[in-house]
Structure 1
Amino acid sequence: MSSLATIQYLAASGEEGGFVPPSILEFFPPAIFSTDFFEINRIHMVRIIAAVVLITLFMMAAKRAKLVPGRGQNIAEIALDFVRVNIAEEILGHNARKYVPMLTTMFFAILAFNITGVIPLLNIASTSLVAMPVVLALWTYVVYLTSGVKKFGFVKYLKNSLFPPGVPWFLYFLITPIEILQVFLFRPLTLALRLTANMIAGHLLLVLCFSATNFFIFEASGALKGMAAVSLAAGLGFTLFEILVAALQAYVFTLLTAVYISLAIEEEH
């Protein structure tokens, strides 16, 4: 299950003896194709594959939609209703309909880009490089700011966001700077960093376990070969855990996006 890049790296290092654990270089693979202006590497290819598969699945479900749904249509409708009901309507109430397309797209895109970390031959989450989470976080950032300004106007939106009602005036000297950082920096920053950090950690754990299995089987001697069973079991366990994390991070990111939009368009916070 380890990526080919990691196996080759470890094999080359193994010539000098000893096990070499995976490094952060795993997230900066060499270019498959490059020009003076851009390049395509393994992670870019994984993103393209995930996007194509996701779009194809939903196009197939929409194209074959019937009044009496089949199994595939049922699955698609349950998945779509999960975002609409449990995220959009739960958080945004009567304002949900306007934001359902965005939240649905965001949830399934993040899920698809996360789940590639446990798919054989892909073996890396597209969101493990910060650029993709930053783009998604900026999407959230722009939408909740523009939604608040569009509803209240620029001045009133700033007042609602930065000067919470019911607070003694002298506390604004403390609270308002914190609110400025939260609204304009911490919200998008924490969204991007949380997603990236979880995907990096998960990938490194999986690569460590399966590369250790490879090492114990082919390079270790004597009783150490038995440790391959331990590292393999750990790798399979972390694979199941990573699937859970992939879905959970998609849910958390989308849920917080809905929460931030709700905070922006509410009358009072």
Structure 2
Amino acid sequence: MRTTILITSPDRFTAPGLELFDLPPIFAGGPEWLTKPVLIALLSSVVVIALCWAAFARPAIVPRGWQNLGEYAYVFVRDQVARPSLGKDADRWMGLLFTIFLTVLVWNLMGVIPLIQFPVAAHIAFPLVVAVGVYLIKLYLGIRHHGVRGYLKGIVHLPGLPWWAYSIYAPLILAEVFVTSLFTHFIRLFANMFAGHILLAFFSAVGFWFVFERLTPLGAGIGLLGVVMTIVLTAFEMFIQFLQAYLFAMLAAMYVASGLHGEH
């Protein structure tokens, strides 16, 4: 059962809420920034480094074990994330994209690991920092390869569009490239992990309360439903966690490509 059941009161069931994300420092009197999400993010980095070391430190001609798993993940990111957007430049950016995919995936999976049970990306600061990093890379590449004027022209120019329509089209596409794209990159990941964590916490709290805390003939059915829904949603959440890591990395590849090619 999830640790979020502690929010229930002795007399009545209280559904979990935003207090799930209001986490105090790990150590009393310690630094304010050292909270559970930060500790899990650090642990996630260690996990990603360990997995990559185990898979690629001593590569064999015939991959086995961790190397086989690592190469499968690498090929997936290369063929499904990097090449569709970056084409011939895909291999140059695989280090960044592979790291982003693995890091976000481990962040997300932490939400279903027993005793940890907190998806790092459900704390908005973490996906925001990665998205801002990709955003700055996009701007740097666009200006470096095309210059400010050429980059803006590549974004705004649309073949066949009448000159008078640019007064409407140009502000919209510039807002999408320089403002909206940043927010859509991290908000999608954050919102899905946030909502998934709330749902899992709610149904696991229902199951624990009505089965273990206040077992009654009438409440037993509700508690059993809570347990079943927790199991079903955990499986579904794992699929969403993988999907969101893939989408986040795919958008990163698209934004890097837009900087390299100077197009929206």
Q: Normalising TM by the smaller chain, what interval?
A: over 0.9
Describe how 1:166-177 pairs up with structure 2 within 5 A: 166-177=160-171
Matched, 1:253 2:248: yes
Q: Does 1:40 align with 2:34?
A: yes
**Cα offsets for 1:212-250 (capped at 9, x unmatched):** 001101224222123222111111000001100110001
Which residue is 1:129 aligned to? Answer: 123
For these two proteins, the number of residue pairs brought into alignment is 263
> Structure 1 pair 225/105, CA: closer, same or farther in 2 (3 Å)?
same
Q: Is contact 1:34-1:40 (8 Å) kept? A: no
Of 105, 108, 114, which residue of structure 2 is paired with 1:114?
108
Residue 102 (structure 1) shift: 0.9
Partner Cα distance (1:224, 1:27) in 2: 28
1:128-184 CA-partner distances (Å, limit 9, x unpaired):
011001111111101111111111111100111123333111111111111121111
Contact 1:31–1:41 (CA under 8 A) maintained in structure 2? yes
SS at match of 2:14: coil
Stretches of structure 2 lacking an aligned partner (at least 5 in a row): none
Letter in 1 for 2:153: K
Q: Aligned AA for 1:9?
A: I
- C-alpha RMSD of matched pairs (Å): 1.7
Rounded to whole Å, the distance in 2 between the matches of 1:200 and 1:64 is 38
- Contact 1:116 1:125 survives alignment (8 Å): yes
Q: Which residue of 2 aligns with 1:202?
A: 196
1:150 to 144, 152, 162: 144
Residues 1:79 and 2:77 aligned together: no
1:36, CA displacement in angstroms?
A: 8.1
Note closer, same or farther for the CA distance 1:183–1:241 as it changes in structure 2 (3 Å cut).
Answer: same
Give the secondary structure class of the aligned counterpart of 2:101.
helix
Q: Which runs of 5+ in 1 are unaligned?
A: none
Mapped pair 1:182 → 2:176: yes
In the alignment, which of 88, 98, 105 is matched to residue 99 of structure 2?
105
Kept in 2, the 8 Å contact 1:107–1:250? The answer is: yes
What is the TM-score with the length of structure 1 in the denominator?
A: 0.92
Shift of 1:72: 1.8
Cross-structure match for 1:212: 206
Amino acid at match of 1:252: L
Measured in 2, the distance between the counterparts of 1:81 and 1:261 equals 19
The superposition leaves residues 180-202 of structure 1 with CA deviations (integer Å, 9 ceiling, x where unpaired) of: 21111100111111111000000
The aligned counterpart of 2:20 is 26
Answer whether contact 2:23 2:35 (CA < 8 A) is retained: yes
- Residue of structure 2 equivalent to 1:58: 52
Q: Secondary structure at the match of 1:69?
A: coil
Query: In the alignment, is the contact (CA less than 8 A) between 2:210 and 2:223 conserved in 1?
Result: yes
Q: Distance in 1 between matches of 2:69 and 2:142?
A: 35
Structure 1 position 67, deviation (Å) = 2.0
Distance 1:267 1:142, change over 3 A: closer
What letter corresponds to residue 244 of structure 1 in structure 2? F
Supply the distance in 2 between the matched residues of 1:140 and 1:210 (Cα, whole angstroms): 36
Distance 1:181 1:220 in 2: 55
Q: CA deviation at 1:118?
A: 0.7
One-letter identity of the residue aligned with 2:60:
K
